[in-house]
Structure 1
């Protein structure tokens, strides 16, 4: 409802701005006897409106007060001292300059509210997202939720549970050799390759999108995890020969670490990741 109100206010202010600008132009062009004065006042009116747009309504109101005081004083001088009679353009600019400022201030206010609501929605979406946008893999938030359940099942039914963490060796150097679009394709291709190396009841996660780190939750012990690691590295070798080298002109090597769940050593999902990362140090 608030977004609708902000959007409606922005649209209304935008249309009013067009209308007032049209009226300004018609009024200025329709009085050839005071064309120069009207042009000067038109520019002053737009200048105040622009300054209001980039600052605030408070600044706009202060500038309008200064304008009304200055132009009012000039009008009184022309009327009393010079003897020039009051004419329509005197009243017009005293009224329409503040009107234009208020419309611009409303437009600015509505646009800023829309921007704030957009940022809030983006932040909320980021906090609730459970999938990595580049690969559609489950992210760390989803991993924490799933791992909590899997760890509880492992404890209750004595099912072996192993987390395998995988990165690409020298990723920072490799990523500098290709374009941003190719980096996204590389991450996607490696993710698809990893998915084909695990069983249907195992889970694959993107634990770190900035420095691509994959997590594989396996319902097996460390011996079974070694088989998966071997399978991954063999696929990586064949992947280099068949597709990776020809597509990206690079060779890919994996760094993998695996740790079996132990309730005494691992109390929460992030501990699981940390200990699996430690195992990666031994994969040279």
Structure 2
């Protein structure tokens, strides 16, 4: 976060510098007589090209082109003085340094803005990897499951409310994975996630706790019998949803569900409840 703030500060600084340079350019053009309107227009066009070259081709290229532009202006002044014996007004001297300053400030502005974008993308990626929600399914992850289970079990201890978890997996997933495409895999994850959410009550929380071996879980304030009824409802709705999905209808996909209730005497951590639910999936035939 400190680095992000540092880049933001530099971005603002270069933006202010760029705006000041634009104001200087406007004042310089306004100070020249209308006799030099064509000269100002041409040099303004060259300045815009220099800014674009600096942005797309890099700082070194931009500096070289700007130095070349300054050298060319000096040659033209000398030529007008020596050949035509004509002195150009000193007020046009701002074209020697303003294009360079505009190129540098614009490049600094965009360079630090790009760094901010990269840092923000990394922060978002880290938030997804470590945080509370899965990016594709928008379900809560293992981090949230462990934290919420602690809250559920504390409620069980204080108010003696039954707490049960359901663990949902895809039967024979490892054998099936090599036979389906990545597109089908993503669609399958979304379909199961949507089915589980739709089959549960609004106060039941659904999680995707493992993407490698897709594993969903639900925390419920109910006993094992109530959770078993919900598990059967999930299976039935998934079978209907699978048959209606054009991309997955040809696949033979079945869900296995394990139900485990919190036992304060035998279980000490949220992982104990989760592992008990995973163990129960092995007996769902």
TM-score (norm 1): 0.61
RMSD: 5.2
Q: How does 1:187-202 map to 2 (within 5 A)?
A: 187-193=193-199, 195=200
Residue in 2 that maps onto 1:217: 219
Residue in 2 that maps onto 1:255: 256
TM-score (norm 2): 0.60
Deviation (angstroms), 1:245: 1.0
Give the paired residue count: 265
Deviations 1:214-273 (A, max 9, x none): 21224566xx26x634652465246524x4413446254112234454668755434543
Partners in 1 of 2:21 and 2:188 — Cα distance? 47
Partners in 1 of 2:180 and 2:272 — Cα distance? 29
Deviation (angstroms), 1:188: 1.3
* CA separation of 1:55 and 1:214: change in aligned 2, threshold 3 A: same
Residue in 1 that maps onto 2:114: 112
Q: Secondary structure at the match of 1:256?
A: strand
Q: Secondary structure at the match of 1:165?
A: strand
Residue in 2 that maps onto 1:71: 72
Deviation (angstroms), 1:51: 3.6
Residue in 2 that maps onto 1:94: 96
Q: How does 1:39-58 map to 2 (within 5 A)?
A: 45-54=47-56
Q: Secondary structure at the match of 1:215?
A: strand
Contact 2:11 2:112 in 1 (8 A): yes
Q: Secondary structure at the match of 1:240?
A: helix
Contact 1:236 1:252 in 2 (8 A): no
Contact 1:10 1:107 in 2 (8 A): yes
Judge which range, 123-132 or 267-276, deviates more: 123-132
Contact 1:233 1:254 in 2 (8 A): no
* CA separation of 1:14 and 1:273: change in aligned 2, threshold 3 A: farther
Contact 1:132 1:209 in 2 (8 A): no
Partners in 2 of 1:76 and 1:11 — Cα distance? 32
Residue in 2 that maps onto 1:146: 148
Gaps of 5+ in 2: none
Contact 2:192 2:238 in 1 (8 A): no
